[in-house]
Amino acid sequence: MTEKGKKAEDRLIIRRSGYPAKGEIVIGTVTRVLDFGAFVSLDEYEGREGLVHISEVAPGWIKDIRDYVKKGQKVVCKVLDVNPKRGHIDLSIKDVNERQKREKIQQWKNELKAFKWLEIVGEKIGLQRDELAKIGKKLIEEYDTIYGAFEEIAFEGYEVLSPIVGEEFAKAMAEIAHENIKPPKVKVRGYFELKSNAPDGIERIKKALTEAYKFANGVNMKIEYVGAPRYRVIIEAEDYKTAEKVLKNVTSSVLRTIKKLGGEGNFVREAV
């Protein structure tokens, strides 16, 4: 069966054991909608279902809960309370802000990708689904998410996971991780205010800015005209230490050069 035709229930999904923590942001699927609330099956937890009381669905008075939630709908919730003895999990939809919702949805999308990558590793090595699930649970215990484990191996090398999953499995994971996960970039930025009263002042300013590119080795750097006398510089690097070092060198070079050419300038840092 092709991936396109593969049923969702046939895909590898590794769920956590136990209960979510109070205050945790979780993602789930609405299974039942009643007049007093909606029951939500937690996608990340094995066999766990929570209740969103009608008062926790949305702000204000709700006449009909079905105007807000429907069976089969994906929802992001905050865990209000957990009672393992009774098996109760109280949830809230209205207490989740837009940023938390976006971040959780993206995290779950990443996790679904990671489950697929794990399946590919299992097929390559010849592991059965139950063996793969056991390895996945170990990875969740150690790194909180499967995607987090792939990130770790992408940035640190297969050796970090060898003690947990074995060398062969770790090497196969590393191969997929390097193909799919790129190190995050960081940005620093600011703008120069450069002036020159010389007849060829514009050329002198250009010359000063050109000096900046001598220090751009290993980073992405862009200088753009904002509007006289401002010129913005944006530096993108693997880490802040590298970005800050390049920015310091660039700033010193440009200001030193414009001064040498009879002009004046200063630099203003901007928040990213």
Q: How does pLDDT run along the chain (272 residues), one tens digit per residue?
A: 344 444 555 788 999 989 999 999 999 999 999 999 999 999 999 999 999 999 999 999 999 999 999 999 999 999 999 999 999 999 999 999 999 999 999 999 999 999 999 999 999 999 988 899 999 999 999 999 999 999 999 888 899 999 999 999 999 999 999 999 887 778 899 999 999 999 999 999 999 999 889 888 778 999 999 888 999 999 998 888 889 999 999 999 999 999 999 999 999 998 76
pLDDT for 53 equals: 97
Model pTM? 0.66
Q: Which domain holds residue 63?
A: 22-96
**Does residue 143 fall inside a structural domain?**
yes
| Residue 11 domain flag | no
Q: Are both 127 and 164 inside the same structural domain? A: yes
**Two structure tokens written together for 110:** 């990443």
How many structural domains are present in the chain?
3
- Report whether 63 contacts 74 (CB < 8 A): no
If you compute the radius of gyration of the chain from its CA atoms, what whole number of angstroms results? 27
Cα 81 from Cα 83, distance rounded (Å): 7
Do 75 and 144 lie in a common domain?
no
Q: Are residues 167 and 231 in the same domain?
A: no
Listed residues 62, 96, 130: the one ending a domain: 96
> What CATH number corresponds to the domain at position 146?
1.10.150.190
| Peptide linkage before 163 cis (omega within 30 of 0) | no
User: Does residue 14 form part of some domain?
Assistant: no
Question: Which of 106, 238, 132, 124 is closest to 174 using CA atoms?
Answer: 124
Q: What is the pLDDT of residue 215?
A: 87
Q: Tell me whether residue 2 is in a domain.
A: no
92 and 103: one domain? no
Q: Is residue 57 part of a domain?
A: yes
Residue 3 resides in a domain: no
User: The domain spanning residue 66 has which CATH number?
Assistant: 2.40.50.140
The pLDDT of residue 42 is 97
Same domain? For 232 and 200 the reply is yes
The pLDDT value recorded for residue 1 is 39
CA distance 272 to 257: 26
Residue 6 within a domain: no
User: Among the three residues 180, 199, 214, which one is the final residue of a domain in this structure?
Assistant: 180
Answer yes or no: do 257 and 191 share one domain: yes
> Where does a domain end: 148, 180, 212?
180
Residue 2's pLDDT is 46
Can you give the pLDDT at residue 230? 93
Q: Where are the beta strands (DSSP E) in the chain?
A: 25-34, 37-42, 49-53, 74-83, 88-92, 186-195, 220-227, 230-237, 264-270
CA distance 173 to 177: 6
In a shared domain, residues 161 and 120: yes
d(CA 76, CA 96): 7
